[in-house]
């Protein structure tokens, strides 16, 4: 057996151990440990990706001395490799770009606990991607929920507590539905491992329980979509994103929400079977809510006066895109949805971190009238925001454009009434995106006359740090890379998805 | 007339009713139990939460209530409440109806031919003792066959402790914390040295803790294990704390104890499980012997892991209580 | 009528668990009071554990602890749901602790436990 196959297990346990150790370290040591951990994770994940590409297949890692169906398992294929590399890189960049804000926003003695939560959050993201067992997935979903609530509440003001509580409540509703779904799934199949569940579904065992099975798929889907803030359940998202420190906002919108979607796709493909999902028609419900999220998220975003809140509502719309892609019901749709996970993840974390830089030079506010002229005060952050806005609107050479093209392709593949609905929704959503992102961009680059010189005084002592500039530059490069080399990524995704079944 | 009414409001029953109804007096009214300490607690409360801010809030709340009493607002609230009731009933009935129909189509209750009673549970029961050395098959299952779940689960507890610390811990070096420490006397929160409580605790706590240790050590032989035993020990510690106060418990349990115990237990857990996963996946022989089934020293790693889990759970339970009470250990 | 009696006699535990789940879910979702939300959460989780325990039961078999040296599947119930319940309980304890800590914080800050009142206060402060 190759050494590379051990890396998924090593990376998850390393995260857990670093998290535990960080809780007793001083704040700077905890930071170094976290950076070291994230560096190691990028390397390990890249190694797993390279290994799976080189053997052109996936491998199952047996956790313990007992193979399937008795013990736990991890599974890694090309898609898992791409996801973990993406998760570690985005986490790394978000934490580095927000470092200064973490030190400002979080209480002095709790900074090491913040890094503890980051490490443990990373472990849950990796475990959700690699796991091959529904109950392990449930345990790590809960880890993800609690750490995310902690990352919001760490700000230590009333608004943060309130949004954290709101997030917890919505999330726990989702967990409850997911848990009872998993319980029923275990009851009708008798297994907890994804591959064994699929075997039970494919063979005759499941036939007499066809009715409960539809309910099970619906329960798991609703549970996970509540957790990833699909449209009617999105109300916690803008609050949580606005109230938290910028690293937390970036992590929440680009990683936490995505991990649940990854798990959902994994359960669809590896446990239930994509054909079975299509037979039950659950994907049509997902499709309808996805379309509604695309439109309503953008409409709500237009009504906002705070750019951070506006970006959060834009996340609601983009989550709608992803669910819409899953709901189309053909392979191309899922590929487009997975690509949009990457595109939105890279872009949205960049927008949130750039807003951190803009906030510094705009009297610590992200209101539209406060950020006027910030484009001349903090050039790096504003350029990053502009790149993000172009990507979200869908200008060529940026990742958002590629995913929109892919969605349209998938729609044309699907044909019928769905095609018309998708194309209209894409057009409307693009126009709405244009309205609010360009409004923010215009505000950003409106020169302000500054008679009292008050602004310039504030600007002088808030130069962006070298780390911030580096992280933003890396973000921009990553986005341009996703936009221009999208063919390669899409090839990897298609290959990974074909390994799933 | 009004006097009678205030007395009525202060009775224990009313307090319980109001607590159950979730009205606003959960914390403020507690001091009513002890008139002597009421002022002290009030002072401490105010100092800690910044008097000015508090007053501002109070004014705002008063304003809010005033505004609410306006007629239009009232009507909106009533409408909302009616809508809420209706919506709640509809949701509840819909969920229950859908799931009840689903349940009727599930495998029968208690039927040995159900899909869940398959080769997996057969293997766990028939080869459990040979594979894991544990007589308690559930312990063998959660700590050996499906150990990864349990590894995640003990970290969930740790994360919860960290989150509670983030939310409630008071930093003794910060401004707020200093003022809090200077008032210090946390016995204000506690009952006076109640002879019944002290005597009963003196007798009960040793028994409870010994019982907890028994449950942990016999986790692989009888019902119980790390989680249940740890919870018992944690309850014993909390009882001790309630009878004797933080001064006494701080002699043997501080923030440092919590960190050292839980961090070393969790690290040992992770490392030993890494060894088990690594040897298992790569087909290396596990050198840890299983011992004779039924002995106290048997079942390989299960006994040490149960002790680790028990330590983590006991510390976490106690730390939850300490954080809730005074924002520190 | 006969159908109802059959239903109750064959699905008593699952039915009760589902009813509790509905009650807990609705309380957690819609009740404005935070403490009651936490109660709802615990009812919801416990109902799932009841459901799991009922699903693991088999008539005429005992708890899976081998005391007399007989390790045969015919004499013990399914151990897996029991293990899952153990894991689930710990998770719900942790979540409850975090929710309670949040509730204490919110109470200290806003002097109320009603989510809708807190929301109104925040809205007022934001102006």
State pLDDT tens for residues A340-389: 999 999 999 999 999 888 888 877 778 887 777 777 888 888 889 999 99
Q: Is the pLDDT of residue A442 over 80?
A: yes
Candidates A158, A193, A305, partner chain C, best to mutate (most C CBs within 10 A): A158
More confident residue, B214 or A65: B214
How far C25 CA lies from chain A's nearest CA (Å)? 7
CB contact under 8 A, C55 and A139: no
pLDDT at A143: 93
- Asked which of A41-50, A425-434, B131-140 is least confident by mean pLDDT, the reply is B131-140
Candidates A176, A185, A305, partner chain C, best to mutate (most C CBs within 10 A): A176
CB contact under 8 A, A161 and C55: no
From CA B303, how far away is CA B309, in angstroms rounded? 10
Pairing of strands A59-63, A72-76: antiparallel
Mean per-residue pLDDT, B102-126: 81
Residue A4 within a domain = no
pLDDT at B27: 39
CB contact under 8 A, A162 and C119: yes
pLDDT at B38: 37
Q: Is the pLDDT of residue A144 over 50?
A: yes
Confidence of residue B137 (pLDDT cuts 50, 70, 90): confident
Residue A303 within a domain = yes
Q: Is C53 on the interface with A (CB under 8 A)?
A: no
Q: Is B104 on the interface with A (CB under 8 A)?
A: no
Beta bridge partners of A61: A74
Chain A: partners with 3+ C-beta pairs within 8 Å: B, C
Mean per-residue pLDDT, A29-46: 92
Mean per-residue pLDDT, A307-325: 90
Q: Is the pLDDT of residue B211 over 90?
A: yes
Mean per-residue pLDDT, B66-83: 68
pLDDT at B232: 93
Task: Please tell me whether the peptide bond between A340 and the residue prior to it is cis, using omega within 30 degrees of 0.
Answer: no
For residue C23, the domain's CATH number is 1.10.287.3510
Chain centroid, CA B104 distance in Å: 35
pLDDT at A436: 87
- Would you say the C-alpha torsion A242, A243, A249, A255 has a positive or negative sign? negative
Q: Collapse the DSSP code of A270 into the 3-class scheme (helix H, G, I; strand E, B; otherwise coil) and give the result.
A: helix
From CA A362, how far away is CA B319, in angstroms rounded? 41
Tell me the residue range of the domain where C109 lies.
2-126
Q: Is the pLDDT of residue B187 over 80?
A: no
Mean per-residue pLDDT, B64-74: 61
Distances in Å between the Cα of C44 and the Cα atoms of A188, A217, A384 are 21, 20, 45
pLDDT at B56: 67
Q: Pinpoint the alpha helices (H) of chain C.
A: 2-30, 34-56, 79-110, 115-126
Q: How many distinct structural domains can be found in chain C? A: 1
- Name the residue of chain C whose CA is nearest to A167's CA: C99
pLDDT at A6: 87
Predicted model pTM: 0.88
From CA C20, how far away is CA C38, in angstroms rounded? 14
pLDDT at A115: 92
Q: Is the pLDDT of residue B22 over 90?
A: no
CB atoms closer than 10 angstroms to residue A466: 8
Confidence of residue A206 (pLDDT cuts 50, 70, 90): low
CB contact under 8 A, C95 and A168: yes
Burial letters for A90-114: b for 16+ Cβ neighbours within 10 Å, e otherwise?
A: bbbbbbbbbbbbbeebbbebbbbbb
Maximum Cα–Cα distance for chain C, whole Å? 72
pLDDT at B37: 35
pLDDT in tens, A160-190: 899 999 999 999 999 999 999 999 888 888 8
Tell me the residue range of the domain where A407 lies.
281-501
Stretch 23-82 of chain C: residues touching chain B, C-beta under 8 Å = 23, 25-26, 29-36, 54-59, 61, 63-67, 71-74, 76, 78-82
From CA A135, how far away is CA B253, in angstroms rounded? 35
Do residues C44 and C21 make contact, with C-beta atoms less than 8 angstroms apart? Answer: yes
Q: Collapse the DSSP code of A453 into the 3-class scheme (helix H, G, I; strand E, B; otherwise coil) and give the result.
A: coil
Left if phi > 0, otherwise alpha if psi is -120 to 50, otherwise beta: which for B23?
beta
Of C55, C79, C87, the CB nearest to B124: C79
Q: Is A209 on the interface with C (CB under 8 A)?
A: no
Do residues A37 and A21 make contact, with C-beta atoms less than 8 angstroms apart? Answer: no
Confidence of residue C66 (pLDDT cuts 50, 70, 90): confident
Of C54, C97, C121, the CB nearest to B64: C121
Residues of chain B contacting residue A72, judged by C-beta atoms under 8 Å apart: 146-149
From CA B125, how far away is CA B130, in angstroms rounded? 10
Mean per-residue pLDDT, B287-307: 76
Confidence of residue A278 (pLDDT cuts 50, 70, 90): confident
Confidence of residue B69 (pLDDT cuts 50, 70, 90): low
Residue A291 within a domain = yes
- Would you say the C-alpha torsion A176, A181, A182, A188 has a positive or negative sign? positive
Do residues B117 and C78 make contact, with C-beta atoms less than 8 angstroms apart? Answer: yes
Q: Is the pLDDT of residue B21 over 70?
A: no
Stretch 32-91 of chain B: residues touching chain C, C-beta under 8 Å = 49, 57-58, 60-61, 63-64, 80, 84, 87-88, 91
pLDDT at B283: 77
Residues of chain B contacting residue C38, judged by C-beta atoms under 8 Å apart: none
**Size of the A and C interface in Cβ pairs below 8 Å:** 79
Q: What percent of chain C has pLDDT over 90?
A: 27
Q: What percent of chain A has pLDDT over 90?
A: 33
Residue C99: closest CA among A167, B45, B129: A167
Please state, rounded to an integer, the average pLDDT across all residues of chain A: 87
Confidence of residue B6 (pLDDT cuts 50, 70, 90): low
Residues of chain C contacting residue A162, judged by C-beta atoms under 8 Å apart: 106, 118-119, 122
From CA A127, how far away is CA A75, in angstroms rounded? 10
Mean per-residue pLDDT, A421-427: 90
Q: Is the pLDDT of residue B313 over 50?
A: yes
CB contact under 8 A, B61 and C65: no
Confidence of residue B50 (pLDDT cuts 50, 70, 90): low
Mean per-residue pLDDT, A53-70: 83
Residue A59 within a domain = no
From CA B153, how far away is CA B243, in angstroms rounded? 32
From CA B93, how far away is CA B98, in angstroms rounded? 8
Residue C40: closest CA among C52, C25, C60, C54: C25
Confidence of residue A43 (pLDDT cuts 50, 70, 90): very high
pLDDT at B133: 76
pLDDT at B301: 80
Q: Is the pLDDT of residue A135 over 70?
A: yes
Mean per-residue pLDDT, B45-51: 50
Q: How many distinct structural domains can be found in chain A? A: 1
Confidence of residue B58 (pLDDT cuts 50, 70, 90): low
Q: Is the pLDDT of residue B35 over 90?
A: no
More confident residue, A460 or C54: C54
How far A69 CA lies from chain B's nearest CA (Å)? 7
Mean per-residue pLDDT, A431-441: 88
Q: What is the DSSP letter of A330?
A: S
Confidence of residue B64 (pLDDT cuts 50, 70, 90): low
From CA A3, how far away is CA A156, in angstroms rounded? 44
A314: tokens are 């834009």
Q: Is A176 on the interface with C (CB under 8 A)?
A: yes
pLDDT at C44: 92
CA atoms within 13 A on the CB side of C119: 13
Q: Collapse the DSSP code of A193 into the 3-class scheme (helix H, G, I; strand E, B; otherwise coil) and give the result.
A: strand
Stretch 139-198 of chain B: residues touching chain C, C-beta under 8 Å = 141-142, 146, 149-150, 153-154, 156-157, 159-161, 163-164, 167-168
Confidence of residue C39 (pLDDT cuts 50, 70, 90): very high
From CA A423, how far away is CA A404, in angstroms rounded? 10
CB contact under 8 A, A16 and B167: no
From CA A29, how far away is CA A33, in angstroms rounded? 6
pLDDT in tens, A331-341: 888 999 999 99
Q: Is A168 on the interface with C (CB under 8 A)?
A: yes
pLDDT at B138: 85
Backbone angles phi, psi at B180, to 5 degrees: -65, -45
Residue A132: closest CA among A228, A12, A276, A304: A12
Q: Pinpoint the alpha helices (H) of A329-465.
A: 331-360, 374-377, 379-393, 399-414, 416-444, 454-460
- Asked which of A30-44, A206-220, A242-256 is least confident by mean pLDDT, the reply is A206-220
Q: Is C119 on the interface with B (CB under 8 A)?
A: no
């Amino acid at each position: 057996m190759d050494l590379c196959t051990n890396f998924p297990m090593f990376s998850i346990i390393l995260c857990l151990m670093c998290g535990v150790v960080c809780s007793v370290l001083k704040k700077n040591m905890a930071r170094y440990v976290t950076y070291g951990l994230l560096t190691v994770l990028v390397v390990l994940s890249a190694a797993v990706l390279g290994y799976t590409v080189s053997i052109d297949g996936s491998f199952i890692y047996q956790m313990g001395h007992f193979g399937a169906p008795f013990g736990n398992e991890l599974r890694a294929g090309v898609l898992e490799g791409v996801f973990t590399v993406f998760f570690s890189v985005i986490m790394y960049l978000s934490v580095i770009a927000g470092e200064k804000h973490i030190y400002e926003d979080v209480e002095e003695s709790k900074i090491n606990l913040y890094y503890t939560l980051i490490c443990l959050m990373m472990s849950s993201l990796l475990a959700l991607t690699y796991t091959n067992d529904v109950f392990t997935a449930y345990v790590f979903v809960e880890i993800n929920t609690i750490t995310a609530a902690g990352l919001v509440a760490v700000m230590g003001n009333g608004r943060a507590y309130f949004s954290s509580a709101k997030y917890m409540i919505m999330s726990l509703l989702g967990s409850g539905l997911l848990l009872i779904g998993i319980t029923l799934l275990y009851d009708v199949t008798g297994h907890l491992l994804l591959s064994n569940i699929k075997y039970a579904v494919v063979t005759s065992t499941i036939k007499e329980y066809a009715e409960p099975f539809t309910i099970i798929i619906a329960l798991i889907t609703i549970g996970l979509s509540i957790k990833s803030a699909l449209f009617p359940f999105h109300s916690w998202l803008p609050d949580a994103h606005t109230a938290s420190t910028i690293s937390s906002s970036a992590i929440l919108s680009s990683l936490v929400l995505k991990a649940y979607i990854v798990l959902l796709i994994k359960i669809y493909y590896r446990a239930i079977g994509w054909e079975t999902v299509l037979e039950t028609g659950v994907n049509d419900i997902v499709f309808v809510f996805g379309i509604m999220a695309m439109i309503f998220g953008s409409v709500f975003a237009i009504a906002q006066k705070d750019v951070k809140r506006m970006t959060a509502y834009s996340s609601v719309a983009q989550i709608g895109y992803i669910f819409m892609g899953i709901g189309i019901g053909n392979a191309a749709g899922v590929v487009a949805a997975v690509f949009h996970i990457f595109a939105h993840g890279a872009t949205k974390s960049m927008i949130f971190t750039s807003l951190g830089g803009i906030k510094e030079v705009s009297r610590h506010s992200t209101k539209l009238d406060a950020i006027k002229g910030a484009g001349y005060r903090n050039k790096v952050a504003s350029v990053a925001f502009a790149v993000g806005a172009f990507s979200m609107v869908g200008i060529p050479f940026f990742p958002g454009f590629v995913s929109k093209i892919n969605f349209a392709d998938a729609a044309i593949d699907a044909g019928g009434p769905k095609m018309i609905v998708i194309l209209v929704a894409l057009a409307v959503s693009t126009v709405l995106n244009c309205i609010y992102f360009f409004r923010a961009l215009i505000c950003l680059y409106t020169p302000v006359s500054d008679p009292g010189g008050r602004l310039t005084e504030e600007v002088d002592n808030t130069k962006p740090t070298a780390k911030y500039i580096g992280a933003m530059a890396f973000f921009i490069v990553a986005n341009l890379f996703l936009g221009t080399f999208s063919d390669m990524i899409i090839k990897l995704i298609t290959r990974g998805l074909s390994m799933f079944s | 007339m009004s006097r009678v009414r205030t007395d009525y409001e202060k009775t224990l029953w009313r307090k319980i009713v109001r607590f159950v109804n979730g009205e606003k007096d959960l914390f403020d009214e507690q001091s009513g139990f002890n008139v002597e300490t009421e002022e002290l607690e009030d002072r401490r409360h105010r100092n800690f939460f910044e008097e000015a801010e508090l007053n501002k809030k109070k004014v705002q709340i008063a304003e809010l209530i005033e505004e609410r009493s306006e007629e239009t607002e009232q009507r909106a609230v009533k409408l909302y409440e009616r809508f809420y009731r209706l919506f709640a009933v509809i949701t509840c009935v819909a969920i229950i109806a859908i799931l009840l129909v689903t349940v009727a189509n599930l495998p029968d209750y208690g039927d040995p031919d159900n899909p869940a009673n398959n080769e997996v549970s057969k293997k766990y029961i028939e080869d459990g003792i040979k594979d894991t050395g544990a007589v308690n098959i559930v312990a063998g299952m959660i700590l050996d066959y499906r150990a990864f779940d349990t590894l995640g689960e003990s970290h969930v507890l740790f994360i919860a402790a960290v989150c509670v610390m983030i939310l409630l811990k008071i930093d003794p070096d910060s401004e707020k914390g200093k003022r809090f420490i200077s008032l210090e006397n946390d016995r204000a929160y506690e009952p006076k040295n109640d002879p019944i409580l002290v005597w009963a605790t003196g007798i009960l706590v040793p028994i409870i803790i010994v019982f907890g240790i028994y449950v942990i050590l016999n986790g692989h032989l009888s019902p119980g294990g790390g989680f249940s035993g740890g919870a018992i020990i944690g309850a014993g510690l909390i009882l001790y704390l309630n009878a004797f106060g933080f001064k006494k418990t701080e002699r043997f349990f501080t923030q440092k104890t919590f960190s050292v115990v839980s961090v070393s237990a969790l690290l040992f857990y992770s490392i030993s499980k890494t060894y088990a996963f690594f040897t298992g996946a790569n087909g290396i022989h596990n050198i840890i012997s299983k011992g004779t089934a039924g002995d106290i020293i048997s079942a390989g790693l299960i006994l040490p892991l149960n002790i680790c889990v028990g330590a983590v759970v006991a510390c976490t339970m106690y730390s939850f209580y300490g954080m809730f009470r005074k924002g520190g250990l | 009528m006969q159908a109802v009696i059959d239903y109750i006699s064959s699905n008593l535990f699952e039915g009760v668990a589902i009813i509790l789940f509905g009650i807990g879910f609705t309380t957690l979702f819609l009740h404005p009071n935070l403490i009651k939300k936490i109660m709802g959460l615990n009812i919801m989780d416990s109902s799932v554990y009841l459901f799991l325990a009922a699903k693991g039961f088999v008539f005429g078999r005992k708890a899976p602890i081998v005391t007399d040296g007989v390790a045969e599947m015919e004499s013990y119930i399914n151990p897996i749901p029991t293990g899952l319940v153990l894991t689930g309980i710990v998770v719900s304890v942790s979540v409850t602790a975090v929710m309670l800590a949040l509730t204490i914080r919110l109470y200290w800050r806003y002097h109320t436990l009603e989510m809708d009142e807190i929301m109104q206060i925040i809205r007022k402060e934001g102006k």
